[in-house]
């Protein structure tokens, strides 16, 4: 067992072979709808490796832009994103948890590099076209640093993600 990624492009509504089932990370869906069928074109697929290897790889991605440990990062981001995505619930939760001392906003968190990938299931789910486009920009921006700092195998996974997010109107399917 391990983690496989399939990238589909030219995603469009219609009776098709791709249907998104309920998933906890709904922000990453963008404009895609749960239980809606889509027609897609297969674009690219790759095997990331074991789930533990993927966790180690995400740690290396985090090190490209932060000194936080993966646990520190996830705990911080979790406060901003815990399954309630409406503005009302985010602001209410932020005020309750962080009070007025913390100046960071939900916008700051979502502008961080790779946040949609780092704060996402390590075994299943879908990342929609708008988020793939943003992730691709992150992969391109940090490409040289990743090439310099990552092991050969981890950089190959980095390149696979960069390619998978480069398609037109693409989605990533983690399975």
Q: At what angle do helices 152-164 and 51-63 cross, to 10 degrees?
A: 90
The answer on pLDDT for 152 being more than 90 is yes
Which pLDDT does position 31 carry in this prediction?
Answer: 84
Residue 25: which pLDDT band, with cuts at 50, 70 and 90? low
The answer on pLDDT for 24 being more than 70 is no
Q: How far apart are CA 132 and CA 28, in angstroms?
A: 9
The answer on pLDDT for 103 being more than 90 is no
Which pLDDT does position 88 carry in this prediction?
Answer: 46
pTM of the model: 0.81
């Amino acid at each position: 067992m391990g983690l496989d990624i399939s990238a589909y492009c030219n995603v469009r509504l219609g009776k098709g072979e791709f249907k998104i089932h309920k998933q906890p990370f709904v922000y990453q869906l963008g404009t895609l709808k749960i239980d809606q069928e889509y027609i897609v074109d297969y674009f690219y697929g790759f095997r990331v490796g074991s789930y533990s290897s993927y966790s180690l790889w995400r740690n290396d991605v985090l090190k490209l832009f932060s000194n936080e440990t993966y646990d520190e990062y996830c705990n911080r981001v979790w406060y901003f994103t815990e399954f309630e995505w409406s503005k009302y619930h985010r602001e209410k939760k932020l005020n309750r948890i962080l009070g007025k001392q913390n100046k960071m906003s939900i916008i700051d968190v979502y502008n961080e590099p790779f946040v949609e990938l780092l704060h996402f299931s390590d075994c299943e789910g879908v990342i929609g076209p708008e988020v793939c486009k943003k992730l691709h920009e992150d992969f391109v921006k940090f490409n040289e640093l990743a090439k310099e700092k990552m092991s050969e195998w981890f950089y190959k996974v980095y390149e696979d993600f960069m390619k998978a997010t480069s398609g037109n109107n693409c989605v990533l399917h983690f399975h």
